[in-house]
């Protein structure tokens, strides 16, 4: 039994949660606003209408006329069930509320600044029969807390081009029951993002955002089996997208994204995702829907039970109403399928029992308010 590997994988589950999801932890391309959830994350990189651009594309803050504040929150309901080829199945369930707060202010004709606090991922789940099922009852509970504080600025180069930059502080904390003992750890890590938006014409806008990877040196509050902590790589991300106004009422959005998951492990590969969304303005109501899909960072021969990442897809729908005061109230729902995450092992490996997930999904319900 390689207990060092167990803790390494556990730490990785707590920290390496970017745009992919796993049974023990969830990372989000959605940022706790009705717009991001309804469009399945496809609209973020071209957003230039509210303070949430602080997170998704700082250059988009250039669209703020005076000031904007966004308040949001999303409730996640996650459920998965692993069916090993030998032994008993195990089920994980969890509910988590993830907040969003962002504010942007125009400083002068050229500059706009923004600040945001949100959670890019995290989850608290309990396993009905241990993390792997049957006798492999290693991890019974896993709680992941992730917060990002982002400070951004946008500069309008000319009527068409705006550039943006962000300084980001990521907080990651983990608490888990391992071998009937509680392991906890937390750490702050800095990173940055660079972005641009370009208005091709009155109807079409493109956006791009690069967020640099970072490293978390997590120290456990107490040594367990001689292990004091772990250093974990956080993949870099590049997102590019387009927003096109088809008619006065209808616009479409599309994006493509790359993440450097090959930095995580030699057996992992970079991931690619794509999304498409549409918005329809009907009076005071904006109706939106979107779909996106991600590739898998690891093949079944190298996947393990603690970090069972796989290809996944998500479908969102939502609506936002403009109130008499000019404020906007939005609500959205999204279904995310996390894949069957098949594991193919060469024999009886503790963290790699052959099997797959018969159920592996997340429901999102989101409310947001901006003024």
Q: What is the pLDDT of the chain when averaged over all its residues?
A: 83
Residue span of the structural domain in which 186 resides: 3-370
Of 12-21, 162-171, 265-274, the one with minimum mean pLDDT is: 12-21
Higher pLDDT, 307 or 209: 209
Residue pair 27/309 in contact by the 8 Å Cβ criterion: no
User: What pLDDT does residue 179 have?
Assistant: 65
User: What pLDDT does residue 16 have?
Assistant: 33
Taking residue 327's Cβ as centre, other Cβ atoms within 10 Å add up to 12
Which domain CATH number covers 320?
A: 2.40.160.60
Structure tokens of 72?
Answer: 């949001």
Residue pair 300/267 in contact by the 8 Å Cβ criterion: no
- The CA distance from 329 to 149, in Å, is 24
Q: 146: which residues sit within 8 A by CB, 6+ positions away?
A: 17, 27, 119, 120, 121, 122, 170, 171, 172, 173
- The CA distance from 229 to 159, in Å, is 50
User: What pLDDT does residue 225 have?
Assistant: 59
pLDDT tens digits for range 268-305: 889 999 999 999 999 999 999 999 999 988 887 777 76
pLDDT tens digits for range 308-342: 778 899 999 999 999 999 999 999 999 999 888 87
CA 152 to chain centre: 19
**pLDDT band of 28, cuts 50, 70, 90:** low
- Sign of CA pseudo-dihedral 56, 44, 268, 312: positive
pTM: 0.84
- The CA distance from 206 to 204, in Å, is 7
Domain count, the chain: 1
Structure tokens of 180?
Answer: 């009937």
């Amino acid at each position: 039994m390689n207990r060092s590997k167990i803790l390494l994988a556990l730490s990785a589950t707590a920290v390496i949660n970017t745009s992919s999801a796993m049974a023990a932890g969830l990372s989000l391309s959605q940022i706790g606003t009705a717009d991001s959830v309804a469009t399945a994350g496809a609209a973020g990189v071209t957003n230039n209408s509210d303070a949430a651009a602080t997170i998704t594309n700082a250059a988009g803050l250039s669209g703020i006329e005076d000031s904007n504040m966004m308040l949001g929150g999303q409730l996640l309901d996650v459920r998965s069930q692993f069916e090993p080829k030998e032994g008993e199945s195990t089920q994980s369930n969890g509910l988590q509320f993830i907040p969003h707060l962002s504010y942007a202010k125009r400083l002068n004709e050229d500059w706009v600044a923004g600040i945001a606090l949100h959670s890019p991922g995290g989850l608290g789940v309990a396993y009905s029969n241990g993390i792997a099922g049957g006798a492999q009852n290693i991890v019974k509970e896993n709680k992941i807390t992730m917060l990002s504080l982002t400070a951004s600025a946008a500069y309008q180069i000319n009527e068409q081009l705006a550039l943006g930059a962000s300084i980001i502080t990521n907080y990651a904390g983990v608490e888990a029951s391992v071998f009937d003992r509680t392991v906890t750890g937390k750490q702050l890590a800095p990173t940055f993002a660079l972005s641009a938006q370009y208005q091709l014409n009155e109807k079409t806008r493109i956006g791009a955002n690069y967020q640099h990877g970072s490293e978390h040196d997590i120290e456990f509050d107490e040594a367990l089996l001689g292990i004091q902590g772990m250093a974990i790589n956080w993949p870099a991300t590049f997102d590019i997208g387009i927003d096109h106004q088809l008619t006065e009422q209808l616009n479409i959005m599309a994006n493509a994204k790359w993440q450097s998951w090959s930095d995580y492990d030699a057996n992992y590969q970079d991931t690619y995702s794509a999304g498409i969304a549409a918005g329809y303005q009907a009076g005071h109501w904006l109706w939106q829907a979107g779909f996106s899909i991600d590739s898998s960072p690891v093949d079944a021969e190298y996947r393990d039970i603690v970090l069972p990442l796989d290809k996944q897809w998500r479908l969102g729908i939502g609506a936002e109403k403009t109130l008499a005061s000019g404020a906007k109230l939005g609500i959205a729902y999204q279904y995310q399928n996390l894949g069957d995450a098949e594991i193919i092992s060469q024999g009886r490996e503790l963290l790699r029992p052959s099997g797959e997930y018969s159920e592996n999904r997340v429901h999102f319900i989101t409310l947001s308010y901006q003024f």
